[in-house]
Amino acid sequence: MEPREDRRGGVSEARFESLLDTAADGIIVIDEAGRMLVFNKICEDLFGYTTEEVIGQSVNMIMPPEFATAHDEFMSNYHRTGEKRIIGIGREVSGRHRDGTVIPLELSIGEAKTSEGRQYIGVLRDLRPRRAVESRVSQLQAQVVHMTRLSAMDEMGAAMAHELNQPLTALLLYLQALARQIKVCHAEEKAPSEKLLGVLDKSVLEAERASHIVQRMRQMVEKRDPERSTIDLREVVNEALDLSEFVAQGATVTIRRVFGMNPIWVDADATQIQQIMLNLMRNALEVAKESEERWVKVSIGSDERSAVVSVTDSGTGFSEDVGKSLFKTFSTTKKSGMGLGLAISRAIAQNHGGDLLADPGGNGQGATFTLVLPMRRSMPAES
């Protein structure tokens, strides 16, 4: 503490001390040579050293070695060129606790010219609590996404079971027929006929039909990390619409597809985009089913910057109040909980640098949901 007390004194020193100790952030002041002049209470907790231990010591002692070397270079570079790399900007850096733990820090630095030369004031914030919250949030988000996918699967489950039943039934009956006829052949000491081979071929086809259904189902349910790739939005949306149509089988709602001729390239996770589409389609089909005209229109367009997918139904739209709470996590106009789906869909869209917008419609107009995604900057090489 000696050097500081030399320079300051009386009332202002006391005020300065109390300011330092009540600050919620760590505060460190260093001189031109990198020696620490001020080290407040928060820093003591953060780094595990007492103020007495560090005053006059090089600031490198609270940095991981690789940062310490870089720091020396930064400082001498700044003194030589005046080029600011961090002063007035702030950035994320790593600090090191006495016990060796590396601490992610947000650091902003100010500069003061004093009679004893330049001094630098660093304000540090421990990023670990924020990191923990962020990782918890993204964990929860992944879980919720997985859950909605599962709940969509639940609805699909019935449709799937029905679909699987048919090929399995046909397959088993073909096999029963084959078994009987082969027994007859044996009894009569005849070779199996061409016709039997035909039945065998047909049973293979039915087994394949069943496995295709399982594959499609698996693609939907598997939880995995977002996988961005360059995709043609038309193809991905088209597939999702096929799936919606399949789930809504029996419902006599027409799905109108208004797609252009040219591919629309976006960088996105195809499965997540399809999940948004399935969600929007589920809601739109539900509304359209109760309407007079019974259609859902899906159009895809783009300009230089964004790609846009709009889903409009033949319903009567919704009120302003409903519109306001539409994206709230647990709001819903029906029991199946479409609010959750929309909130997640919007989160996914925003994760992609896009958004999900709602136009409530009304006055005979159905609601429109619009998914906006940033266009890919350059075209992928044609393969």
Partner 1 sequence: MFFIVEDDPAVADALESLLAGAGFSVRVFASAEDMIQQGAPSSEDTMIVDLGLPGMSGGELVRRLEKAGQNPKVIAISGKSSRTIARETEGLSHLKILRKPPSADWLEAITA
Interface pattern 66-105 for partner 1 (x via CB under 8 A): ----------------------------------------
Interface pattern 223-262 for partner 1 (x via CB under 8 A): ---------------------------x------------
Say how far apart CA 123 and CA 112 lie, in whole Å. 14
The tokens describing 246, both together, are 């399949």
Could you say which DSSP state residue 362 is in? B
Q: Closer CB to partner 1, residue 205 or residue 258? A: 205
How many residues form the binding site for partner 1 (CB under 8 A)? 23
Is 148 in contact with 344 (CB distance < 8 Å)? Answer: yes
Q: Closer CB to partner 1, residue 246 or residue 318? A: 246
Q: Closer CB to partner 1, residue 252 or residue 378? A: 252
What is the nearest approach in angstroms of partner 1 to the Cβ of residue 157?
11
Q: Which helix (H) or strand (E) holds 147?
A: helix 128-187
Interface pattern 193-222 for partner 1 (x via CB under 8 A): ------x--xx-xx--x-------------
Say how far apart CA 268 and CA 30 lie, in whole Å. 46
What is the nearest approach in angstroms of partner 1 to the Cβ of residue 333?
28
What is the nearest approach in angstroms of partner 1 to the Cβ of residue 363?
36
C-alpha separations of 287 from 68, 160, 223, 280 in Å:
62, 23, 29, 11
Segment 131 to 170, residues that bind partner 1, using CB under 8 A: 161-162, 165-170
Is 86 in contact with 74 (CB distance < 8 Å)? Answer: yes
The tokens describing 54, both together, are 């560090």
What is the nearest approach in angstroms of partner 1 to the Cβ of residue 247?
16
- Residue 59 in the binding site for partner 1 (CB under 8 A): no
Q: Closer CB to partner 1, residue 79 or residue 180? A: 180
What is the nearest approach in angstroms of partner 1 to the Cβ of residue 239?
24
Q: Closer CB to partner 1, residue 168 or residue 357? A: 168
Say how far apart CA 279 and CA 66 lie, in whole Å. 48
What is the nearest approach in angstroms of partner 1 to the Cβ of residue 164?
8
Q: Closer CB to partner 1, residue 195 or residue 377? A: 195
Q: Closer CB to partner 1, residue 199 or residue 357? A: 199
Q: Closer CB to partner 1, residue 153 or residue 158? A: 158
Paired residues of 123 in beta bridges: 27, 108
Q: 3-state class of 15 per DSSP?
A: helix
Say how far apart CA 13 and CA 32 lie, in whole Å. 22
For 330, other C-beta atoms within 10 Å of its C-beta total 9
What is the nearest approach in angstroms of partner 1 to the Cβ of residue 193?
11
What is the nearest approach in angstroms of partner 1 to the Cβ of residue 194?
14
Could you say which DSSP state residue 99 is in? T
C-alpha separations of 27 from 8, 287, 344, 363 in Å:
17, 58, 40, 60
Q: Closer CB to partner 1, residue 209 or residue 282? A: 209
CA 269 to chain centre: 9
Q: Which residue has the tokens 């609590």?
A: 129
Say how far apart CA 79 and CA 31 lie, in whole Å. 12
Is 168 in contact with 371 (CB distance < 8 Å)? Answer: no
Segment 166 to 185, residues that bind partner 1, using CB under 8 A: 166-174, 176-177, 180-181
Q: Which amino acid is at 262?
A: N
Q: Closer CB to partner 1, residue 170 or residue 375? A: 170
What is the nearest approach in angstroms of partner 1 to the Cβ of residue 334?
23
Question: Which positions touch partner 1 (CB under 8 A)?
Answer: 161-162, 165-174, 176-177, 180-181, 199, 202-203, 205-206, 209, 250
